[in-house]
Amino acid sequence: EAGVTQSPTHLIKTRGQQATLRCSPISGHTSVYWYQQALGLGLQFLLWYDEGEERNRGNFPPRFSGRQFPNYSSELNVNALELEDSALYLCASSYRGKLSGANVLTFGAGSRLTVL
């Protein structure tokens, strides 16, 4: 079974540009989570998509946005890049067969974004 795949592995952009990161969840998983991890810091919750809808959002400015496609893959867009956006961006997926109960997240290897 293929795991969560993220692309690109590394991305270098300059200030003011836009970055697009992609995530393919495990087959059968309907939820996708995005996290930002700046160097030496913990995981900061960015966005959560489930069944094509944005279900929750972290404390990030609107220039961080995304979407989930009908095949449950997801895209994270960061507009007007700033130096402090340099980080590892992690995607995780899970299966939410019911609204309550256990919900194990499976993470991808991440996309490292460097803003110069």
Partner 1 sequence: DAKTTQPPSMDCAEGRAANLPCNHSTISGNEYVYWYRQIHSQGPQYIIHGLKNNETNEMASLIITEDRKSSTLILPHATLRDTAVYYCTLNSGGYQKVTFGIGTKLQVIP
Interface with partner 1 (CB under 8 A): 4, 33, 35, 37, 41-43, 45, 48, 55-59, 88, 90, 92, 96, 98-110
Query: Angle at CA 111, nearest 5°, toward 21 and 17?
Result: 50
CA distance 7 to 69: 16
Greatest Cα pair distance, the chain, in angstroms, is 43
User: Is residue 86 a contact partner of residue 41, using CB atoms and an 8 Å limit?
Assistant: no
> Least CB distance from residue 16 to partner 1, whole Å?
27
CA distance 114 to 116: 6
Nearer Cβ to partner 1 (20/105): 105
Nearer Cβ to partner 1 (22/57): 57
> Least CB distance from residue 100 to partner 1, whole Å?
5
Nearer Cβ to partner 1 (34/72): 34
| Residue 103, token pair as written in the block | 């919900």
> Least CB distance from residue 97 to partner 1, whole Å?
9
